[in-house]
Structure formats: structure tokens, C-alpha cells
Amino acid sequence: MTTLDISASGPATATGDAVLAFEDLTVTFKTEFGDVHAVKGIDLEVRPGEVVALVGESGSGKSVTSMTALGLLPRNARVGGTIRVGDKVVGALDGRGLRNMRGNDVAMVFQEPMTALNPVLTIGDQLTEGLQLHGIAFGKQAMARAAELLGMVGIPEPERRLKQYPHELSGGQRQRVVIAMAIACDPKVIIADEPTTALDVTVQADILDLLRSLKDKLNTGILLITHNMGVVADMADRVAVMLKGDLVETGTADQVLNHPRHEYTKRLLAAVPHLGSGPGQFGDVAPVEAAPEDLPALDLNNLVIEYHRLGKPTFRAVDDVSLSVAQGEIVGLVGESGSGKSTIAKCALGLIPAASGSASILGTDFGKLRGKELKALRKRIGVVFQDPASSLNPRLPIGDVIAEPLVVHKEGDERSRRRRVLELLDAVELPRSVYNRYPHELSGGQRQRVSIARALTLDPELLVADEPTSALDVSVQANVLKMFTALQERYKFACLFVSHDLAVIDLLAHRVVVLQNGRIVEQGPREEVLHHPREEYTQRLIAAAPVPEPLEQRRRREARHALLNKLGEDVAELHVDEDYERPAPRQDEGGNSSGLGGFMADGGN
């Protein structure tokens, strides 16, 4: 399916013992605007039992690089250079050879486990598919092997799970299934493309533990693609930094993370918020000046929010939550997915009604207002959403997007609106030339700046920010956070800052509220909650957040394992029995007609 015109020149034995090697790899995409060079000649090797982290920001070509190893690029891609998987040259394989290689020699762990699994097939069907296609096991034997694999990745009751569908499993368990599928045919190398980005931080720590023990016990090479420097510090033996299709720096994790040489790597690392170092990393947050007798900007009182579902019992998303945000104060709302933090944010915006309790903005209860008064109250709240791609109307130019709140509230005339928009563009450090541009012409970070500018158009007293930097690259996030603190200092708005990233909360918030399953676990000043947590859940959450420093991260990892042991829980690892047999694909004449027989005999090592 892919146009691979790799010339298989050079001796095939030159790569030594690497299980995956890219030599002078180039990838070019043909598009309607001309050629785009996604990868510009990189050399990289992954050896058995080694984790090589490929880091870079979006668009740097890291995923494209990994896809070439599987021969899975879209039709308009042209690949140059040599890619070796074991002793095979990817470019020299035909369709059948490629299919044989995928899964057998190189397997993939995807970012989003829900979309990587087919929702209409059972876990068992999906696990045995690979086994049967590659002739490793069939029928009952394959099912037994699938159960064994699920047991290995630490899923309890594997036999029962085989009959379940992906939606019946939690996110972490789904990712474990994806990992089980990847190791099913005992590949020499696993490509993990952002394997933990879609997961909660505690689940991420478990999955990383699992991957680490996997490469130790099976001696598999792992190419880890990530943008999270904490994950890199936690996992990687060697690190390769990509920038715009070029490899700018490679070295051991310690070399690259602690003694970076390239300018870009240094900047990248400086942009990573560091949990534990508190505010000041990206500009100081102004202290709260509100007097105690002032009305709180936001006051939630015994708030309960319920979702009514047809034919099912009502779901209580938020249960008896009381919190308040003083004027000029930033309150960080943290929690894992499903903890109700976004629901609270929407309620604070008046988009969801409270089932009981109240949500008041500057002393006015949202639930009691209608029509004009409600509209007037909304003027005092600004909002920034997570996904910059969907929070701007694609049909409106930026100038109109930012001026929209003024138009809605019928404030000012054409002239003064334009002046206000330009003023805000300056405030969020965007060039004035974006006034007439459309959202699709801007990058993610620029769009998020527009989003923030729109939120500030009416000079609100309260800003609700729902994961405003989670979808951004780390250097862009650093810039946006820097700008955010500067804006907060200037406009003195109060802010309910929702995030799952403890490091971001650590450098912004005055106070922190920790949520779990719709209830508040702990709340208090930032130093207290994040640096001396009292509750077990908070401790766990903080222990699971990786920091971008290999040695410190190792210490933290061991401390986390100690914490888990103390709490009587297992550390996630690959369970390999003494008599674990590595699968040897059957040498049937049908499957291996394209000259693959040679490598099959040695079964991986």
C-alpha cells in the first residue's frame, strides 16, 4: 500500500545486533501545496532490551519515523534510506512480506487504547487474531495463549476478560490488552507511540512499570515515542531528540536530560514544569489581595450535579462539593478523568444546572436567574477550553472571534471593538496581522492564545480554565503559562484552573482542590496539598507524576513502589512463568513464501 522506494544497498550485516535501525531515513509527503519533508535523513538504532525514547513536539516527524518501520505510511509518502527490522530491510519487502513482519518482528502500542481496539470484537477475538494470522496458535490453543498473555500483563481473571468487549474494561486495562496484543507474537521490537498520553497519571505509572519489566524479561527493544520528559526520564536508556524532521541530539538519558548540548534540547527541558519547584518557574503569580469580607468570585455550596440517563439510574457526577475562589485567587482543581472536575467547571459557567446546592458568582446564585440577569452575570465570567481546535468557530476570522462577546453584549461600536481586539492581541502576544486570519491558519498555541483573549474581552472577574494547556506542546505550554501569569497579574481576575497536570497546578495555583469520583479528597493552600499531602489518594497522585530528571525520577519511582507496598498493593510488572515458552511461528509453506524462512528459526533472540 505504501510507496517505498528504498534501495536495498549496502551489506545487510553492517548493523550489528540492532533490532531496529534507521539509516539515513527520509520521508517526503506529496501534498497539494507541494512536497513536505517530514523526516530529513536520520540514523537511529534500537538494541534488544533497550528503550530508546524519541522525543519532539508535534510535527517533528517522530510518529512518521516510527510508522516507516511498519511500512504503514499513507500513499502520498515517499521513503528514502534503509530501515532494518532484525535482519529484514523493510523497503525490500512486498505486501505479504510486510504483513508477515508486522506483529512478528515489530509490534505497535498505540496512544489511545479505545480506538486501537475494535469495539465490536471481544478481547479474545482481537488477541487471537494475531496469533492465528501468524500461525502461532489456533482455536482453543490460541485462546489459552491469549489468556496467558492477559495474565502476563496483569489483568485479573483473564479467561472471563477474553469474552468481554473493550468498553467493559477501564482505560488502563485496555492499554494492557493493547500491550498483550503487541507481545503476542514475541516481536523483537515494540514501537510505543505515546502509550500513556491518554491515561491518568497513576495508570500511566503502572503502564510504564509494565513496559519496563517487559523489556527486562523478554529482552525486547522498545522505541518509545513521547513528548513527556517525565516519561522519558522514567523509561529511557537512550534519548533521541527530533526537531522538524532532524535528529538534533542523541545520548543516554542522563546525558540528554541532565547535560543537554543542543540549544533546542536545553530550551525544551527548561520549558517542562517541574513538580515540587513551586511557582516562579514561568513568572510569579500575584498574591491574593482580596480582603476576607469581600464576596468570593465563585462560591460552590454543597453542590450536587446529576446526569439523568434514559433507562438507567441517574449518575451523580459531583457529590456534595463546597469550594470557593476569592477575588484574584487561582484555585487549581485536580483529579483524574471521571472525577467531575470538568462538570464543576461547566456548572460554574452556568451551563449545567445544579441538582442541589448552589453555585454563586460574586454572591449571585446562578440557579435563581433568568433571561437578562443571567446574561449580565455571564459577562463577568470568561472561559478557556482544553481543545484549541474545537473552541474557535472555524468560520469566523480571529478578529470576529475575539470581538464576539462585545457584539453579544452590545458593547461599543465597530471602532472601539476593533481597538479592544487589537489591545487583547497585544496582551496575548499575538501579532496584529492575525486579525483577519482564520483559526485553521494558526497553530495550537496561537489558537489557545486567541481563546484566552476572547475570555478576557469583557474584563471578567472570574476565569474558568478547563485544562487550557493540556493539548499543547511543552514549549508552547510554557509560553502560554508565562503569558497567563502575566495576564493574571495585570487583570487580577480570579481563576478556577482545572487540570490533571500537578506540575502546572504547582506553579500557578494559590490553593488546590483534589477531587476523586465527584468528591473532594483534600483542599488547602498549594504548599500544603502538593508538598505535604495528608490524604492517601493525594500522596498516590503526587508519587505517580514523573519528573524530567532520571536520577530523581528513579528515587521517586522507588518511593512510589514503597508507598504501594505499604498500602498493600502490587507494583505492575510482567508475569513470566518459569516454563514460559516463546512462541515460534509455524514454518508453513503458505505464510512464509517471501523469503522469511531464515530468521524464523531463532525465534527472536
> CA 332 to CA 346: how far, in whole Å?
15
> CA 270 to CA 281: how far, in whole Å?
9
CB of 576 to other proteins, least distance (A): 31
CB of 433 to other proteins, least distance (A): 7
- Strand (E) or helix (H) holding 107: strand 106-109
Which residues in 503-562 contact other proteins (CB under 8 A)?
none
Rule CB under 8 A: is residue 386 a binding residue for other proteins? yes
> CA 267 to CA 601: how far, in whole Å?
47
CB of 475 to other proteins, least distance (A): 4
Query: Which of 15, 47, 49, 76 touches other proteins (CB under 8 A)?
Result: 76
CB of 175 to other proteins, least distance (A): 17
CA atoms within 13 A on the CB side of 490: 12
DSSP state of 87: T
> CA 433 to CA 166: how far, in whole Å?
47
Rule CB under 8 A: is residue 394 a binding residue for other proteins? yes
Which residues in 249-268 contact other proteins (CB under 8 A)?
264, 267-268
CB of 218 to other proteins, least distance (A): 26
Q: How many CB atoms lie within 10 A of CB 125?
A: 16
Rule CB under 8 A: is residue 438 a binding residue for other proteins? yes
Query: Which is nearer to other proteins, 233 or 347 (by Cβ)?
Result: 347
Query: Which is nearer to other proteins, 150 or 349 (by Cβ)?
Result: 349
CB of 308 to other proteins, least distance (A): 12
CA distances from 5 to 9, 83, 88, 90, 349 (A): 12, 11, 15, 10, 55
Rule CB under 8 A: is residue 297 a binding residue for other proteins? no
Rule CB under 8 A: is residue 586 a binding residue for other proteins? no
Which residues in 117-136 contact other proteins (CB under 8 A)?
none
Query: Which is nearer to other proteins, 325 or 478 (by Cβ)?
Result: 478
Query: Which is nearer to other proteins, 110 or 599 (by Cβ)?
Result: 110
Which residues in 448-507 contact other proteins (CB under 8 A)?
449, 451, 454, 458, 464, 473, 475-476, 478-480
Query: Which is nearer to other proteins, 58 or 252 (by Cβ)?
Result: 58
Which residues in 36-55 contact other proteins (CB under 8 A)?
36-38
Rule CB under 8 A: is residue 434 a binding residue for other proteins? yes
Which residues in 345-384 contact other proteins (CB under 8 A)?
346, 349-351, 374-376, 378-379, 381, 383
Rule CB under 8 A: is residue 68 a binding residue for other proteins? no
Number of residues this chain uses to bind other proteins (CB under 8 A): 85
Amino acid at 194: E
- Grid cell, residue 465, equals 480554565
Rule CB under 8 A: is residue 73 a binding residue for other proteins? yes
Query: Which is nearer to other proteins, 3 or 141 (by Cβ)?
Result: 3
Amino acid at 266: K
Give every CB contact of residue 438 below 8 A, 6+ residues apart in sequence. Answer: 394, 395, 396, 397, 398
Is residue 163 within 8 A of residue 124, CB to CB? The reply is yes
Query: Which is nearer to other proteins, 463 or 529 (by Cβ)?
Result: 463
In order, the DSSP letters of 406-426 are HHHTT-S-HHHHHHHHHHHHH
- Give first-to-last CA distance, the chain, whole Å: 30
- Grid cell, residue 169, equals 474494561
Question: Of 456, 541, 552, whose CA–CA distance to 200 is shortest?
Answer: 541
Query: Which is nearer to other proteins, 72 or 295 (by Cβ)?
Result: 72
> CA 416 to CA 428: how far, in whole Å?
18
Which residues in 93-122 contact other proteins (CB under 8 A)?
111
Amino acid at 537: Y
Rule CB under 8 A: is residue 433 a binding residue for other proteins? yes
Query: Which is nearer to other proteins, 147 or 504 (by Cβ)?
Result: 504
